[in-house]
Amino acid sequence: MASSPSHDLNRVRAAARADTEVNFGFWAYLMSDVVLFSMLFLAYVNLSQRYAGGPTPGEIFSLHGVFLETMALLASSLTFGLAMVSLHQGKKNHIIGWLLATFVLGAFFLWHEVSEFVHIIHEGASFDRSGFLSAYFGLVGTHGAHVFFGMIWLLTMVAQIALRGLTPAIGSRLARLSLFWHFLDLVWICVFSTVYLPGLIQGGSA
């Protein structure tokens, strides 16, 4: 059973497939998260022009910072992909290395996002300033909270691999974390093209 640490790579590989029963369940959960995010996008699109006399997107967004954030998050999906490649090769230390790289990129993304939030709030454009800003902080903040929990999960997995080695249970969990991490990347691309790009284009002409 899953109880004894097994080094049988094939069992680990089988457990890491995306279509096992438990991973299928995780897909179903991700679908519910898609709906959650679509509601936040709905709120954002609906409220995005309601400035209530406050700042507009052009005044508070900086393309430079968002570009760095985006690149970090996209790169973290690549490093996670490499961690999964290492999993299929059974290279324990490589997995840990790539997971830690993913963690660092995630941390960079989150640090950047939080400092952007702090900056915007300092300029007097907090979430209680207007409907637009509430929706902005609500959507981007929810994505950030997901990234934060993903990072706790990453560290937990690093600890489990270090302590337990490659067991089928751990292979299965990594497959789910991988789905989760790529999903957050996908959501970010939607955030980028719904929030920042139109905001900056409009902001430029306003």
Amino acid at 157: M
Q: Is 134:125 a contact under the CB 8 Å cutoff?
A: no
Is residue 89 classed as helix, strand or coil in its secondary structure? Answer: helix
| 21 vs 205, beta carbon nearer other proteins | 21
> Cβ of residue 88: shortest distance to other proteins, in angstroms?
22
* Closer by beta carbon to other proteins, 40 or else 166: 40
169 binds other proteins, rule: CB under 8 A: yes
Cα distance between residue 144 and residue 146, in whole Å: 5
* DSSP 8-state symbol, 3: T
Q: What angle do CA 15, 161, 87 make, to 5 degrees?
A: 50
From candidates 74, 81, 107, 160, binder to other proteins by CB under 8 A: 160
Nearer to other proteins, 98 or 132 (CB): 132
Q: Which residue has the tokens 């990234």?
A: 147
Q: Residue from 12, 15, 16, 40 that binds other proteins (CB under 8 A)? A: 40
Residue 61 Cα to chain centre, angstroms: 20
Q: Find out whether 195 and 44 touch, Cβ atoms under 8 Å.
A: yes
Question: Which SS3 state, helix, strand or coil, does residue 50 take?
Answer: coil
Question: What is the nearest approach in angstroms of other proteins to the Cβ of residue 19?
Answer: 9
21 binds other proteins (CB under 8 A): yes
Q: Which residues sit at the interface with other proteins, rule CB under 8 A?
A: 1-3, 21-22, 24-25, 28-29, 31-33, 35-36, 39-40, 42-43, 46-47, 50-52, 127-132, 134-135, 137-138, 149, 152, 156, 160, 163-164, 167, 169, 173
